[in-house]
Structure 1
Amino acid sequence: MVNIRNLDPSASPLDYYGSELRRLREEAGLNQAQLGSILFCTASLVGQIETAKKVPTREFSVRLDAALMTGGLFTRLVGLVLKSQLPTWFQPYAEMEAKATYISTYQSQLVYGLLQTEEYAGAVLRVENPGRLDEMVAARMERQRILERTHPPVLFVVLDESVLHREVGGAEVMRNQLVHLLGFLEHPWVQVQVLPFEVGQHSGLLGSFTLLRFDDDPELFYVPVYGGGHMTADPHTIRARSVGYARLQAAALSPQGSAALIERVMRERYGHHPGPAVA
């Protein structure tokens, strides 16, 4: 017998998604197995999503809209569902990141989340979220959709060279991640630079930070801390860190020189893999 769990649709975006899925499936006269057959998935998966025990993917939502002819309801809802899977402390930053016109970030240890491959993100998130890995990775991939918009933000990224050498997820994962970074060399709105080891002391020694600029709102400065993050619009902090970021960009290799270093590290440390030609 199917276990029916009553959901409170107002409890969370995931609960609302599940309750709407159940309601519209029943209105269509389908049981979970029948709908699963149409969606090319199991009845168990349909049931888990209906009871908010599993987070739906965007692909599942697109197929569901087509199957139940909902006019894109679930495709719209899944964005809210995936955002709700982000850590509570991180959600305010993610919301502002999605609204930003310009994003300038220095990363001292890891590839910036908007540029991570799915496998690299999984390796990073597995360290502290092994029980919710699929949901956390899906949420991170959802964040990256802002780069696919008609009018995406301008993204400036400075990576410490150590990011290239830190083997996250194994050699193959790192090789694919570096190939992914090389793919942004010709991107019109993304600029990736590497701060090489030989620079020595620099204005980013205190750690990673991000500056967000908006068309109509004050700029924001964000710095991650263990188990949380700090965000401020204090003009003195913004001024100081903007100058610091400009110095990091000036000290870093050019985008072309950065791509050459990324390709060299990829070849020497992680094995050869064809990438785009660099100057």
Structure 2
Amino acid sequence: MVNIQSLDPTASPLDYYGWELRRQREAHGLKQGQLGEIIFCTGSLIGQIETTKKVPTRDFSERVDAALGTDGLFSRLIGLVLRSQLPTWFQPYAEMEAKAAYISTFQAQLVYGLLQTEEYARAVLSVEHHSKPDEMVAARMERQRILRRDQPPALWVVLSEAALLLEIGGRDVMRRQLAHLLSFRENPWVNVQILPFSTGQHTGMMGTFNLLRFDDDPDLFYMDGYDQGHMTANPHVIKERSVGYARLQASALSPEDSAALIARVMEERYGDRLQPEERTVA
């Protein structure tokens, strides 16, 4: 007799997803392999997702909805599932980020998560989350969906010049990441400024931080920690950090000059060129 793993649909969003996938599949009289054939994957993958051994993707969810006629059920669930893969301490921030009308961030070393390419994100996340990089990357890509909404938040990003020079994932990954930053030049809701090294001391030396503003809720300040994040709506902190952020913006290059610097670094540091050992001798 086949041992069918029982799931508690109330245990987590992932457990509920797996339980519901099995229920819907069986209601349609399909075996795992049969459903797999319909949505172009293996029956084994269906089984792994049903038993929470594998985290589904948005593409998988959309194909299941189309195959089973579930009216977007799994496409709605996948957001909750992927968010649940984020570190527990980070989830409250991600929830507030998704509701914000205005996001301003200073990044001391890395490109902000909402503007990262998938391969850049994978290189960053694999350092600390090497046991489940696929799930963490999928969760980060899911966060970026807020920028594609009909009414996205206004996003203002100040990046230290270090974020352009710190080689994450290799030259090819960095070249594509900087090209991705430049792709936002025509986006009216996204502004990127570079804080050059020549600025010297500045109000972001305490490290990376974010400010979130909402239509109907108090502003929030957020700062990452090693194993937890710090988030507060303390008016004194909000005022202090808002002034500090305004000074960072004033010290940074304009969006136009920032784009020019990004393009120059992309070409000169990460552009296609012969390596020293590949150069021919005249």
TM-score after normalising by structure 1: 0.96
Partner of 1:210: 210
Report 1:1-279 matches (<5 A): 3-272=3-272
Q: Distance in 2 between matches of 1:266 and 1:3?
A: 55
Distance 1:3 1:46 in 2: 16
Is the Cα contact below 8 Å between 1:147 and 1:153 reproduced in 2?
yes
Displacement of 1:268: 1.1
User: How far apart are residue 4 of structure 1 and its match?
Assistant: 1.7
Looking at structure 1, the residues matched to 176 and 258 of structure 2 have their Cα atoms a distance apart, in angstroms, of 17
Q: How far 1:3 sits from its partner (Å)?
A: 4.5
SS in 2 for 1:127: helix
The Cα of 1:215 is off from its aligned counterpart by 0.7
- Distance in 1 (CA, whole Å) between partners of 2:20 and 2:12 is 12
Matched residue SS, 1:16: helix
State the secondary structure of the residue aligned to 1:187. coil
Question: Shift of the alpha carbon at 1:186?
Answer: 1.0
Between the aligned residues of both structures, percent identity stands at 72
**SS of aligned partner of 1:14:** helix
Query: C-alpha separation between the residues in 1 aligned to 2:171 and 2:4?
Result: 45
Q: Distance in 1 between matches of 2:226 and 2:213?
A: 24
Q: CA deviation at 1:107?
A: 0.2
Residues in 2 aligned to 1:231 and 1:205: alpha-carbon distance in whole angstroms: 18
Cα deviations by residue, 1:34-54 (Å, 9 ceiling, x for unpaired): 000001000110000000111
The equivalent of 2:276 in structure 1 is none
1:4, 1:118 → 2: CA distance? 35
**Pairs aligned (count):** 273
Q: CA RMSD in A?
A: 1.0
CA distance in 2, matches of 1:100, 1:75: 22
Distance in 1 of aligned mates of 2:263 and 2:48: 43
Distance 1:3 1:194 in 2: 57
Alpha carbons 1:266, 1:272 under 8 Å: kept = no
Q: Secondary structure at the match of 2:151?
A: coil
Amino acid at match of 2:209: F
CA contact (8 A) 1:185 1:259 kept: yes
User: How many Å apart are 1:2 and its aligned residue?
Assistant: 5.3
Moved over 4 A (4+): none
For residues 24 and 266 of structure 1, what CA distance do their matches in structure 2 show? 49
Q: Where does structure 2 lack aligned partners over 5 or more consecutive residues?
A: 274-282
